[in-house]
A and B are shown apart, each in its own frame.
Chain A
Amino acid sequence: MRKLAIEAYGLVKRYGEVTALDGVDLAVEAGTVIGVLGPNGAGKTTAVRILATLLRPDAGSAAVLGHDVIHAGHQVRQLIGLAGQHASVDEDLTGRHNLTMVGRLLGLSRRDTAARAAELLAEFGLTVAADRPVKTYSGGMRRRLDLAASLVNRPRVVFLDEPTTGLDPVARGALWDRIRALVAEGTTVLLTTQYLEEADALADDIVLFDHGRVAARGTPTQLKRRLGTQTLDLRLADPARLDDAAALVATVVGQLPARLGERLSAPVADGAMMPAVVRRLDDAGVEIAELALHLPSLDDVFRALTTTKEEAPA
Protein backbone atom coordinates (compact mmCIF):
# COMPACT_ATOMS: atom_id res chain seq x y z
CA MET A 1 0.00 0.00 0.00
CA ARG A 2 1.20 3.51 -0.79
CA LYS A 3 1.64 6.18 1.81
CA LEU A 4 -1.51 7.99 2.85
CA ALA A 5 -1.44 11.73 2.25
CA ILE A 6 -4.78 12.38 3.95
CA GLU A 7 -6.47 10.20 6.55
CA ALA A 8 -9.52 10.87 8.66
CA TYR A 9 -11.33 8.70 11.17
CA GLY A 10 -14.84 9.27 12.44
CA LEU A 11 -14.94 13.04 11.93
CA VAL A 12 -17.93 14.65 13.59
CA LYS A 13 -18.80 18.35 13.53
CA ARG A 14 -21.99 19.92 14.84
CA TYR A 15 -23.19 23.49 14.58
CA GLY A 16 -25.81 23.73 17.29
CA GLU A 17 -28.61 21.41 16.23
CA VAL A 18 -27.18 20.79 12.79
CA THR A 19 -24.80 17.89 12.33
CA ALA A 20 -22.53 18.89 9.46
CA LEU A 21 -20.33 15.80 9.63
CA ASP A 22 -21.55 12.56 11.13
CA GLY A 23 -18.62 10.15 11.29
CA VAL A 24 -16.60 10.53 8.12
CA ASP A 25 -13.59 8.35 7.28
CA LEU A 26 -11.21 9.24 4.48
CA ALA A 27 -8.01 7.69 3.15
CA VAL A 28 -6.22 9.32 0.25
CA GLU A 29 -3.04 7.87 -1.19
CA ALA A 30 -0.21 10.28 -1.94
CA GLY A 31 -0.13 11.53 -5.49
CA THR A 32 -3.79 10.84 -6.23
CA VAL A 33 -6.83 13.05 -6.69
CA ILE A 34 -9.85 12.44 -4.52
CA GLY A 35 -13.13 14.00 -5.50
CA VAL A 36 -15.49 14.77 -2.64
CA LEU A 37 -18.85 14.96 -4.25
CA GLY A 38 -22.15 15.98 -2.77
CA PRO A 39 -25.04 18.40 -2.84
CA ASN A 40 -25.00 21.70 -0.93
CA GLY A 41 -24.95 21.15 2.81
CA ALA A 42 -23.54 17.63 2.56
CA GLY A 43 -20.55 18.56 4.72
CA LYS A 44 -17.88 18.92 2.04
CA THR A 45 -16.63 22.34 3.12
CA THR A 46 -16.68 21.39 6.79
CA ALA A 47 -14.46 18.40 6.02
CA VAL A 48 -12.02 20.57 4.07
CA ARG A 49 -11.87 23.16 6.83
CA ILE A 50 -11.08 20.49 9.40
CA LEU A 51 -8.36 18.94 7.23
CA ALA A 52 -6.88 22.39 6.53
CA THR A 53 -6.69 23.05 10.32
CA LEU A 54 -9.24 25.86 10.22
CA LEU A 55 -11.86 24.08 12.27
CA ARG A 56 -11.68 21.71 15.19
CA PRO A 57 -13.79 18.55 14.89
CA ASP A 58 -16.10 17.64 17.76
CA ALA A 59 -14.97 14.02 17.50
CA GLY A 60 -12.64 11.91 15.43
CA SER A 61 -9.15 12.58 14.19
CA ALA A 62 -7.38 13.41 10.96
CA ALA A 63 -3.84 13.68 9.68
CA VAL A 64 -2.18 15.17 6.62
CA LEU A 65 1.09 13.49 5.58
CA GLY A 66 1.17 11.89 9.02
CA HIS A 67 0.75 15.16 10.97
CA ASP A 68 -2.28 15.41 13.22
CA VAL A 69 -4.46 18.35 12.15
CA ILE A 70 -5.40 19.23 15.73
CA HIS A 71 -2.12 18.83 17.57
CA ALA A 72 0.38 19.55 14.80
CA GLY A 73 -1.52 22.22 12.91
CA HIS A 74 1.55 24.31 12.27
CA GLN A 75 3.35 21.42 10.51
CA VAL A 76 0.22 20.67 8.50
CA ARG A 77 -0.06 24.28 7.35
CA GLN A 78 3.51 24.14 6.03
CA LEU A 79 2.57 21.29 3.70
CA ILE A 80 -0.85 22.27 2.40
CA GLY A 81 -2.43 24.74 0.07
CA LEU A 82 -6.07 25.77 0.31
CA ALA A 83 -8.18 27.41 -2.38
CA GLY A 84 -11.81 27.76 -3.23
CA GLN A 85 -15.04 28.96 -1.77
CA HIS A 86 -13.78 29.88 1.66
CA ALA A 87 -10.12 30.79 1.33
CA SER A 88 -9.91 33.66 -0.99
CA VAL A 89 -7.93 36.57 -2.35
CA ASP A 90 -8.12 40.23 -1.33
CA GLU A 91 -10.20 42.07 -3.89
CA ASP A 92 -8.67 45.45 -3.14
CA LEU A 93 -5.14 44.27 -3.87
CA THR A 94 -3.67 43.48 -7.28
CA GLY A 95 -3.00 39.91 -8.30
CA ARG A 96 0.72 40.42 -7.77
CA HIS A 97 0.21 41.99 -4.34
CA ASN A 98 -1.94 39.06 -3.26
CA LEU A 99 0.82 36.61 -4.17
CA THR A 100 3.43 38.89 -2.59
CA MET A 101 1.47 38.95 0.65
CA VAL A 102 1.31 35.16 0.75
CA GLY A 103 5.01 34.80 -0.10
CA ARG A 104 6.06 37.23 2.62
CA LEU A 105 3.74 35.57 5.15
CA LEU A 106 5.43 32.28 4.29
CA GLY A 107 8.77 33.85 5.18
CA LEU A 108 10.22 34.00 1.67
CA SER A 109 12.70 36.79 1.03
CA ARG A 110 11.60 39.81 -0.98
CA ARG A 111 13.53 38.60 -4.01
CA ASP A 112 12.21 35.01 -3.82
CA THR A 113 8.67 36.29 -3.30
CA ALA A 114 8.85 38.51 -6.38
CA ALA A 115 10.30 35.68 -8.47
CA ARG A 116 7.72 33.14 -7.30
CA ALA A 117 4.85 35.60 -7.85
CA ALA A 118 6.02 36.34 -11.40
CA GLU A 119 6.42 32.63 -12.10
CA LEU A 120 2.91 31.79 -10.86
CA LEU A 121 1.32 34.75 -12.65
CA ALA A 122 2.89 33.55 -15.92
CA GLU A 123 1.91 29.93 -15.29
CA PHE A 124 -1.70 30.92 -14.65
CA GLY A 125 -1.97 33.33 -17.57
CA LEU A 126 -2.29 36.41 -15.35
CA THR A 127 0.83 38.35 -16.27
CA VAL A 128 -1.05 41.01 -18.21
CA ALA A 129 -3.56 41.55 -15.39
CA ALA A 130 -0.97 41.21 -12.62
CA ASP A 131 -1.03 44.84 -11.55
CA ARG A 132 -4.76 45.40 -11.72
CA PRO A 133 -6.93 45.14 -8.58
CA VAL A 134 -8.55 41.72 -8.29
CA LYS A 135 -12.03 43.24 -8.25
CA THR A 136 -11.59 43.97 -11.97
CA TYR A 137 -10.88 40.28 -12.71
CA SER A 138 -13.34 37.88 -14.32
CA GLY A 139 -14.57 34.91 -12.29
CA GLY A 140 -12.17 32.58 -14.06
CA MET A 141 -9.16 34.85 -13.49
CA ARG A 142 -10.04 35.21 -9.85
CA ARG A 143 -10.20 31.45 -9.36
CA ARG A 144 -6.91 31.00 -11.16
CA LEU A 145 -5.30 33.59 -8.89
CA ASP A 146 -6.89 31.86 -5.92
CA LEU A 147 -5.32 28.55 -6.98
CA ALA A 148 -1.99 30.27 -7.65
CA ALA A 149 -2.06 31.83 -4.16
CA SER A 150 -2.45 28.37 -2.64
CA LEU A 151 0.66 27.13 -4.49
CA VAL A 152 3.22 29.74 -3.46
CA ASN A 153 4.88 27.35 -1.00
CA ARG A 154 4.74 24.40 -3.44
CA PRO A 155 2.43 22.41 -1.16
CA ARG A 156 2.39 18.60 -1.31
CA VAL A 157 -1.32 18.42 -0.55
CA VAL A 158 -3.80 20.85 -2.04
CA PHE A 159 -7.41 21.30 -0.95
CA LEU A 160 -9.70 22.80 -3.55
CA ASP A 161 -13.15 23.66 -2.26
CA GLU A 162 -15.52 23.86 -5.23
CA PRO A 163 -12.84 25.49 -7.39
CA THR A 164 -15.00 25.90 -10.49
CA THR A 165 -18.44 26.64 -9.04
CA GLY A 166 -20.05 29.41 -11.08
CA LEU A 167 -17.48 29.37 -13.92
CA ASP A 168 -18.34 29.09 -17.58
CA PRO A 169 -17.15 25.95 -19.44
CA VAL A 170 -14.08 27.62 -20.97
CA ALA A 171 -12.87 29.01 -17.65
CA ARG A 172 -13.59 25.66 -16.02
CA GLY A 173 -11.57 23.84 -18.67
CA ALA A 174 -8.64 26.20 -18.09
CA LEU A 175 -8.75 25.54 -14.36
CA TRP A 176 -8.98 21.79 -14.94
CA ASP A 177 -5.79 21.99 -17.01
CA ARG A 178 -4.00 23.72 -14.14
CA ILE A 179 -5.21 21.09 -11.69
CA ARG A 180 -4.06 18.28 -14.00
CA ALA A 181 -0.64 19.92 -14.29
CA LEU A 182 -0.46 20.02 -10.49
CA VAL A 183 -1.27 16.32 -10.25
CA ALA A 184 1.31 15.50 -12.92
CA GLU A 185 3.94 17.03 -10.59
CA GLY A 186 2.95 14.56 -7.89
CA THR A 187 0.75 16.79 -5.72
CA THR A 188 -2.06 15.13 -3.82
CA VAL A 189 -5.34 16.91 -4.48
CA LEU A 190 -8.60 16.82 -2.55
CA LEU A 191 -11.27 18.45 -4.61
CA THR A 192 -14.85 19.11 -3.56
CA THR A 193 -17.41 19.62 -6.24
CA GLN A 194 -21.10 19.53 -7.02
CA TYR A 195 -20.31 18.61 -10.61
CA LEU A 196 -20.16 14.92 -11.37
CA GLU A 197 -18.54 15.71 -14.64
CA GLU A 198 -15.72 17.41 -12.78
CA ALA A 199 -15.14 14.50 -10.42
CA ASP A 200 -15.30 12.12 -13.37
CA ALA A 201 -12.77 14.19 -15.32
CA LEU A 202 -10.23 14.77 -12.53
CA ALA A 203 -10.58 12.30 -9.69
CA ASP A 204 -8.96 8.89 -9.27
CA ASP A 205 -11.37 8.15 -6.45
CA ILE A 206 -14.69 9.62 -5.51
CA VAL A 207 -16.26 9.92 -2.09
CA LEU A 208 -19.92 10.76 -2.20
CA PHE A 209 -21.11 12.83 0.80
CA ASP A 210 -24.73 13.00 1.82
CA HIS A 211 -25.99 14.59 5.04
CA GLY A 212 -22.57 14.49 6.64
CA ARG A 213 -21.96 10.83 5.90
CA VAL A 214 -20.11 8.96 3.20
CA ALA A 215 -22.88 7.54 1.01
CA ALA A 216 -20.56 5.75 -1.42
CA ARG A 217 -16.93 5.58 -2.42
CA GLY A 218 -14.88 4.10 -5.22
CA THR A 219 -13.41 4.91 -8.60
CA PRO A 220 -15.76 6.68 -11.01
CA THR A 221 -16.13 3.38 -12.92
CA GLN A 222 -16.87 1.38 -9.78
CA LEU A 223 -19.53 3.85 -8.73
CA LYS A 224 -21.20 3.72 -12.10
CA ARG A 225 -21.08 -0.07 -12.03
CA ARG A 226 -22.88 -0.07 -8.67
CA LEU A 227 -26.00 0.88 -10.51
CA GLY A 228 -25.68 -2.41 -12.40
CA THR A 229 -27.35 -2.10 -15.74
CA GLN A 230 -25.63 -0.77 -18.78
CA THR A 231 -27.38 0.55 -21.82
CA LEU A 232 -26.97 -0.61 -25.39
CA ASP A 233 -27.65 2.10 -27.97
CA LEU A 234 -27.81 1.39 -31.68
CA ARG A 235 -28.65 3.17 -34.87
CA LEU A 236 -29.35 1.44 -38.17
CA ALA A 237 -28.04 2.30 -41.61
CA ASP A 238 -31.60 1.81 -42.91
CA PRO A 239 -34.24 3.24 -40.53
CA ALA A 240 -36.97 1.30 -42.35
CA ARG A 241 -35.76 -1.89 -40.70
CA LEU A 242 -36.15 -0.50 -37.12
CA ASP A 243 -39.08 -2.84 -36.31
CA ASP A 244 -37.18 -5.93 -37.46
CA ALA A 245 -34.14 -4.88 -35.47
CA ALA A 246 -36.17 -4.18 -32.31
CA ALA A 247 -37.66 -7.67 -32.45
CA LEU A 248 -34.24 -9.24 -32.97
CA VAL A 249 -32.70 -7.27 -30.08
CA ALA A 250 -35.59 -8.35 -27.86
CA THR A 251 -34.77 -12.02 -28.46
CA VAL A 252 -31.30 -11.42 -27.04
CA VAL A 253 -31.87 -9.01 -24.12
CA GLY A 254 -35.27 -10.35 -23.12
CA GLN A 255 -37.28 -7.16 -23.53
CA LEU A 256 -38.33 -4.86 -26.33
CA PRO A 257 -35.84 -1.96 -26.71
CA ALA A 258 -37.06 1.59 -26.33
CA ARG A 259 -37.25 3.60 -29.55
CA LEU A 260 -35.72 7.03 -29.33
CA GLY A 261 -36.22 8.65 -32.73
CA GLU A 262 -34.21 6.48 -35.06
CA ARG A 263 -32.27 4.82 -32.30
CA LEU A 264 -32.91 1.75 -30.20
CA SER A 265 -31.93 1.66 -26.56
CA ALA A 266 -32.03 -1.47 -24.42
CA PRO A 267 -30.79 -2.28 -20.91
CA VAL A 268 -28.30 -5.15 -20.87
CA ALA A 269 -27.34 -7.22 -17.85
CA ASP A 270 -23.82 -8.03 -18.99
CA GLY A 271 -21.40 -6.86 -21.67
CA ALA A 272 -21.42 -10.24 -23.43
CA MET A 273 -24.86 -9.47 -24.80
CA MET A 274 -23.42 -6.87 -27.16
CA PRO A 275 -21.63 -9.29 -29.48
CA ALA A 276 -24.73 -11.51 -29.43
CA VAL A 277 -26.87 -8.60 -30.62
CA VAL A 278 -24.37 -7.77 -33.35
CA ARG A 279 -24.31 -11.41 -34.58
CA ARG A 280 -28.11 -11.70 -34.63
CA LEU A 281 -28.55 -8.47 -36.61
CA ASP A 282 -25.72 -9.41 -38.97
CA ASP A 283 -27.29 -12.84 -39.62
CA ALA A 284 -30.57 -11.12 -40.50
CA GLY A 285 -28.76 -8.72 -42.83
CA VAL A 286 -29.59 -5.56 -40.79
CA GLU A 287 -26.74 -3.09 -41.17
CA ILE A 288 -25.68 -1.24 -38.01
CA ALA A 289 -24.55 2.37 -38.39
CA GLU A 290 -23.65 3.03 -34.76
CA LEU A 291 -23.41 0.87 -31.67
CA ALA A 292 -22.47 1.84 -28.14
CA LEU A 293 -22.53 0.34 -24.67
CA HIS A 294 -22.97 2.96 -21.91
CA LEU A 295 -22.33 2.74 -18.21
CA PRO A 296 -24.88 4.80 -16.34
CA SER A 297 -23.69 8.42 -16.02
CA LEU A 298 -22.43 9.67 -12.68
CA ASP A 299 -25.53 11.83 -12.62
CA ASP A 300 -27.59 8.65 -12.38
CA VAL A 301 -25.38 7.45 -9.53
CA PHE A 302 -25.67 10.79 -7.78
CA ARG A 303 -29.44 10.77 -7.96
CA ALA A 304 -29.68 7.18 -6.84
CA LEU A 305 -27.40 7.59 -3.81
CA THR A 306 -28.24 11.01 -2.41
CA THR A 307 -31.42 12.35 -0.97
CA THR A 308 -32.23 16.02 -0.79
CA LYS A 309 -33.18 17.45 2.57
CA GLU A 310 -36.83 17.63 1.63
CA GLU A 311 -37.01 14.04 0.54
CA ALA A 312 -35.12 12.70 3.53
CA PRO A 313 -37.26 10.66 5.92
CA ALA A 314 -38.01 12.56 9.11
Chain B
Amino acid sequence: MNGVNQCLTLTWRGIVKLRRHPAALADVVFGPAIFLVLFVYVFGGAISGSTRDYLQFVLPGMLGLMTLLATMGVGVALNQDIEKGVFDRIRSLPTLRIAPLVGAIGGDVVRQVVAIVALLGFGLALGFRFTTGPLPVLAACALALGFALALSWVWVLLGLALPNAQAVQGLGAVIIFPLSFASNIFVPTDTMPGWLAAFVEVNPVRHLMDALRGLMLGGPVARPVLITLLWMAGFVAVFAPLALAAYRRRSLTS
Protein backbone atom coordinates (compact mmCIF):
# COMPACT_ATOMS: atom_id res chain seq x y z
CA MET B 1 0.00 0.00 0.00
CA ASN B 2 2.89 2.26 0.91
CA GLY B 3 4.37 1.78 -2.53
CA VAL B 4 1.12 2.84 -4.20
CA ASN B 5 1.02 5.94 -1.99
CA GLN B 6 4.58 6.81 -2.94
CA CYS B 7 3.81 6.55 -6.64
CA LEU B 8 0.68 8.67 -6.15
CA THR B 9 2.69 11.24 -4.22
CA LEU B 10 5.19 11.54 -7.07
CA THR B 11 2.36 11.80 -9.58
CA TRP B 12 0.86 14.56 -7.41
CA ARG B 13 4.22 16.30 -7.64
CA GLY B 14 3.90 16.23 -11.45
CA ILE B 15 0.43 17.78 -11.25
CA VAL B 16 1.54 20.53 -8.86
CA LYS B 17 4.49 21.34 -11.11
CA LEU B 18 2.23 21.56 -14.12
CA ARG B 19 -0.21 23.80 -12.28
CA ARG B 20 2.48 26.10 -10.97
CA HIS B 21 4.29 26.25 -14.25
CA PRO B 22 2.11 28.21 -16.70
CA ALA B 23 4.63 27.80 -19.51
CA ALA B 24 4.59 24.00 -19.26
CA LEU B 25 0.83 23.96 -19.06
CA ALA B 26 0.52 26.26 -22.07
CA ASP B 27 2.86 23.93 -23.94
CA VAL B 28 0.61 20.97 -23.21
CA VAL B 29 -2.66 22.76 -23.93
CA PHE B 30 -1.79 25.03 -26.84
CA GLY B 31 1.02 23.02 -28.46
CA PRO B 32 -1.38 20.51 -30.07
CA ALA B 33 -3.83 23.30 -30.94
CA ILE B 34 -1.17 25.28 -32.80
CA PHE B 35 -0.01 22.17 -34.65
CA LEU B 36 -3.57 21.41 -35.58
CA VAL B 37 -4.33 24.91 -36.88
CA LEU B 38 -1.11 25.08 -38.89
CA PHE B 39 -1.54 21.70 -40.49
CA VAL B 40 -5.21 22.11 -41.25
CA TYR B 41 -5.05 25.62 -42.68
CA VAL B 42 -1.57 25.55 -44.27
CA PHE B 43 -1.45 22.06 -45.79
CA GLY B 44 -5.04 20.91 -45.46
CA GLY B 45 -6.48 22.47 -48.59
CA ALA B 46 -3.56 21.32 -50.75
CA ILE B 47 -3.58 17.78 -49.39
CA SER B 48 -7.29 17.02 -49.14
CA GLY B 49 -8.89 19.64 -51.35
CA SER B 50 -10.65 21.22 -48.41
CA THR B 51 -9.56 22.13 -44.90
CA ARG B 52 -12.69 20.52 -43.54
CA ASP B 53 -11.86 17.12 -45.03
CA TYR B 54 -8.30 17.40 -43.86
CA LEU B 55 -9.37 18.19 -40.31
CA GLN B 56 -11.34 14.92 -40.30
CA PHE B 57 -8.24 13.11 -41.53
CA VAL B 58 -5.56 14.72 -39.42
CA LEU B 59 -7.15 15.02 -35.98
CA PRO B 60 -6.67 11.33 -35.14
CA GLY B 61 -3.15 11.79 -36.54
CA MET B 62 -2.48 14.64 -34.15
CA LEU B 63 -3.59 12.42 -31.29
CA GLY B 64 -0.99 9.88 -32.36
CA LEU B 65 1.72 12.50 -32.89
CA MET B 66 1.12 13.91 -29.44
CA THR B 67 1.62 10.58 -27.75
CA LEU B 68 4.95 10.30 -29.55
CA LEU B 69 6.11 13.81 -28.67
CA ALA B 70 4.81 13.88 -25.14
CA THR B 71 6.52 10.68 -24.05
CA MET B 72 9.83 12.44 -24.59
CA GLY B 73 8.93 14.50 -21.51
CA VAL B 74 9.39 11.42 -19.33
CA GLY B 75 13.03 11.09 -20.31
CA VAL B 76 13.70 14.80 -19.99
CA ALA B 77 12.00 15.04 -16.57
CA LEU B 78 13.85 12.00 -15.27
CA ASN B 79 17.16 13.32 -16.51
CA GLN B 80 16.58 16.70 -14.89
CA ASP B 81 15.68 15.05 -11.60
CA ILE B 82 18.97 13.16 -11.70
CA GLU B 83 20.98 16.23 -12.65
CA LYS B 84 19.40 18.50 -10.05
CA GLY B 85 19.61 15.97 -7.22
CA VAL B 86 15.88 15.45 -6.69
CA PHE B 87 16.36 11.85 -7.76
CA ASP B 88 18.91 11.24 -5.01
CA ARG B 89 16.71 12.97 -2.46
CA ILE B 90 13.90 10.54 -3.28
CA ARG B 91 16.24 7.57 -3.35
CA SER B 92 17.72 8.44 0.04
CA LEU B 93 14.25 7.99 1.55
CA PRO B 94 12.86 4.57 2.46
CA THR B 95 10.77 4.47 -0.70
CA LEU B 96 10.08 1.74 -3.18
CA ARG B 97 13.17 1.56 -5.37
CA ILE B 98 11.15 1.96 -8.51
CA ALA B 99 9.07 4.88 -7.18
CA PRO B 100 11.02 7.65 -8.95
CA LEU B 101 10.53 5.92 -12.31
CA VAL B 102 6.83 5.30 -11.77
CA GLY B 103 6.51 8.89 -10.54
CA ALA B 104 8.06 10.25 -13.71
CA ILE B 105 5.70 8.18 -15.86
CA GLY B 106 2.72 8.98 -13.63
CA GLY B 107 3.34 12.71 -13.89
CA ASP B 108 3.47 12.30 -17.64
CA VAL B 109 0.17 10.45 -17.83
CA VAL B 110 -1.49 13.46 -16.21
CA ARG B 111 0.08 15.73 -18.81
CA GLN B 112 -1.04 13.47 -21.62
CA VAL B 113 -4.62 13.36 -20.42
CA VAL B 114 -4.71 17.17 -20.30
CA ALA B 115 -3.21 17.32 -23.78
CA ILE B 116 -5.70 14.81 -25.23
CA VAL B 117 -8.69 16.65 -23.78
CA ALA B 118 -7.34 19.97 -25.08
CA LEU B 119 -6.71 18.58 -28.56
CA LEU B 120 -10.11 16.93 -28.93
CA GLY B 121 -11.86 20.01 -27.55
CA PHE B 122 -10.03 22.22 -29.97
CA GLY B 123 -10.68 19.88 -32.88
CA LEU B 124 -14.42 19.84 -32.10
CA ALA B 125 -14.43 23.63 -31.96
CA LEU B 126 -12.87 23.77 -35.42
CA GLY B 127 -15.56 21.48 -36.78
CA PHE B 128 -14.23 17.95 -36.34
CA ARG B 129 -16.98 15.37 -35.93
CA PHE B 130 -16.67 11.83 -34.56
CA THR B 131 -18.56 9.41 -36.76
CA THR B 132 -18.51 6.50 -34.32
CA GLY B 133 -19.74 6.66 -30.73
CA PRO B 134 -18.51 7.72 -27.31
CA LEU B 135 -17.18 4.27 -26.42
CA PRO B 136 -14.93 3.84 -29.47
CA VAL B 137 -13.66 7.41 -28.97
CA LEU B 138 -12.81 6.64 -25.34
CA ALA B 139 -11.13 3.45 -26.52
CA ALA B 140 -9.08 5.51 -28.99
CA CYS B 141 -7.92 7.84 -26.18
CA ALA B 142 -7.09 4.86 -23.99
CA LEU B 143 -5.13 3.23 -26.80
CA ALA B 144 -3.16 6.42 -27.45
CA LEU B 145 -2.41 6.75 -23.75
CA GLY B 146 -1.42 3.11 -23.50
CA PHE B 147 0.88 3.45 -26.48
CA ALA B 148 2.48 6.46 -24.82
CA LEU B 149 2.97 4.51 -21.59
CA ALA B 150 4.60 1.60 -23.40
CA LEU B 151 6.83 3.98 -25.33
CA SER B 152 7.74 5.76 -22.08
CA TRP B 153 10.12 2.94 -21.22
CA VAL B 154 12.29 3.89 -24.19
CA TRP B 155 12.51 7.41 -22.76
CA VAL B 156 13.15 6.17 -19.24
CA LEU B 157 16.09 4.23 -20.62
CA LEU B 158 17.41 7.25 -22.53
CA GLY B 159 16.82 9.54 -19.56
CA LEU B 160 18.88 7.25 -17.35
CA ALA B 161 21.59 6.52 -19.88
CA LEU B 162 22.23 9.91 -21.47
CA PRO B 163 24.29 12.61 -19.78
CA ASN B 164 21.84 15.53 -19.95
CA ALA B 165 18.39 16.73 -20.94
CA GLN B 166 19.64 18.28 -24.20
CA ALA B 167 20.99 14.90 -25.30
CA VAL B 168 17.65 13.27 -24.51
CA GLN B 169 15.81 15.90 -26.53
CA GLY B 170 18.30 15.70 -29.40
CA LEU B 171 18.19 11.94 -29.74
CA GLY B 172 14.45 12.08 -29.21
CA ALA B 173 13.95 14.29 -32.27
CA VAL B 174 16.10 11.93 -34.35
CA ILE B 175 13.87 9.02 -33.37
CA ILE B 176 10.51 10.76 -33.50
CA PHE B 177 10.69 12.68 -36.77
CA PRO B 178 11.16 9.68 -39.09
CA LEU B 179 8.61 7.67 -37.12
CA SER B 180 5.98 10.39 -37.37
CA PHE B 181 6.57 11.82 -40.87
CA ALA B 182 7.19 8.46 -42.53
CA SER B 183 3.74 7.32 -41.55
CA ASN B 184 0.14 8.07 -42.29
CA ILE B 185 -0.17 10.67 -39.53
CA PHE B 186 -0.29 13.66 -41.87
CA VAL B 187 -1.03 12.25 -45.32
CA PRO B 188 -2.29 9.09 -46.99
CA THR B 189 0.68 6.95 -48.00
CA ASP B 190 -0.40 6.09 -51.60
CA THR B 191 1.95 8.55 -53.30
CA MET B 192 5.07 7.57 -51.35
CA PRO B 193 7.86 5.77 -53.27
CA GLY B 194 8.25 2.04 -52.71
CA TRP B 195 11.16 2.13 -50.30
CA LEU B 196 9.36 4.63 -48.06
CA ALA B 197 6.10 2.67 -48.29
CA ALA B 198 8.07 -0.36 -47.11
CA PHE B 199 9.25 1.57 -44.06
CA VAL B 200 5.73 2.82 -43.38
CA GLU B 201 4.55 -0.77 -43.55
CA VAL B 202 6.74 -1.73 -40.56
CA ASN B 203 6.38 1.56 -38.71
CA PRO B 204 4.38 0.85 -35.53
CA VAL B 205 2.93 4.36 -35.69
CA ARG B 206 1.08 3.41 -38.86
CA HIS B 207 -0.89 0.69 -37.10
CA LEU B 208 -1.61 2.99 -34.20
CA MET B 209 -2.97 5.51 -36.72
CA ASP B 210 -5.14 2.94 -38.47
CA ALA B 211 -6.53 1.90 -35.10
CA LEU B 212 -7.21 5.50 -33.98
CA ARG B 213 -8.91 6.44 -37.26
CA GLY B 214 -10.96 3.27 -37.16
CA LEU B 215 -12.11 4.00 -33.63
CA MET B 216 -12.87 7.68 -34.23
CA LEU B 217 -14.14 7.67 -37.81
CA GLY B 218 -15.18 4.11 -38.47
CA GLY B 219 -13.54 1.39 -40.52
CA PRO B 220 -11.76 -1.86 -39.61
CA VAL B 221 -10.30 -1.79 -36.08
CA ALA B 222 -9.66 -5.37 -34.94
CA ARG B 223 -6.42 -5.93 -36.89
CA PRO B 224 -4.74 -2.55 -36.34
CA VAL B 225 -5.67 -2.54 -32.63
CA LEU B 226 -4.25 -6.03 -32.23
CA ILE B 227 -1.00 -5.13 -34.02
CA THR B 228 -0.70 -1.95 -31.95
CA LEU B 229 -1.18 -3.91 -28.73
CA LEU B 230 1.51 -6.36 -29.84
CA TRP B 231 3.89 -3.46 -30.52
CA MET B 232 3.13 -2.06 -27.10
CA ALA B 233 3.83 -5.41 -25.47
CA GLY B 234 7.06 -5.54 -27.47
CA PHE B 235 8.18 -2.09 -26.30
CA VAL B 236 7.55 -3.00 -22.69
CA ALA B 237 9.16 -6.44 -23.01
CA VAL B 238 12.37 -5.02 -24.52
CA PHE B 239 12.78 -1.59 -22.97
CA ALA B 240 11.40 -2.02 -19.46
CA PRO B 241 14.08 -4.60 -18.53
CA LEU B 242 16.78 -2.47 -20.18
CA ALA B 243 15.59 0.64 -18.33
CA LEU B 244 15.45 -1.23 -15.04
CA ALA B 245 18.96 -2.58 -15.62
CA ALA B 246 20.22 0.94 -16.32
CA TYR B 247 18.44 2.09 -13.18
CA ARG B 248 19.98 -0.67 -11.10
CA ARG B 249 23.44 0.22 -12.38
CA ARG B 250 22.87 3.67 -10.94
CA SER B 251 21.65 2.41 -7.60
CA LEU B 252 21.93 -0.28 -4.98
CA THR B 253 19.85 -3.39 -4.57
CA SER B 254 17.65 -4.17 -1.54
Contact = CB atoms under 8 A, between A and B. Distances in A.
B94 interface: yes
Nearest to A49: B88
Interface in B68-103: 84-86, 88-95, 99
Contact of A88 (B9, B85, B95, B251): B85
A289 B7 CA distance: 69
Nearest to A88: B85
Contact of B94 (A69, A78, A85): A78
B95 A105 contact: yes
Interface stretch (B12-20, B27-35, B146-154): B12-20
Given A91-B84, A101-B13, A105-B9, A54 B89 contact: no
A53 B91 CA distance: 8
B254 A97 contact: no
Contact of B252 (A70, A105, A133): A70
B20 A93 contact: yes
Contact of B251 (A54, A71, A89, A107): A54
B253 A105 contact: no
Interface residues of B, number: 27
A105 B99 contact: yes
Contacts of A80: 92
* Residue in B10, B20, B254 whose Cβ sees the most chain A Cβ within 10 Å: B254
Given A82-B89, A85-B85, A74 B94 contact: yes
Contacts of B85: 85-88
24 contacts: A55-B252, A56-B252, A69-B252, A72-B254, A77-B92, A77-B94, A82-B92, A86-B85, A86-B88, A87-B85, A87-B88, A87-B92, A89-B86, A92-B17, A92-B20, A101-B9, A101-B12, A102-B93, A104-B6, A104-B9, A105-B99, A106-B93, A106-B94, A133-B20
Interface of A: 49, 52-56, 69-74, 77-78, 80-82, 85-94, 97, 101-102, 104-107, 133, 149-150, 153
Given A77-B95, A86-B88, A105-B95, 12 more contacts: A53-B91, A54-B91, A56-B251, A56-B253, A71-B253, A77-B93, A78-B94, A80-B92, A90-B13, A91-B84, A93-B20, A104-B12
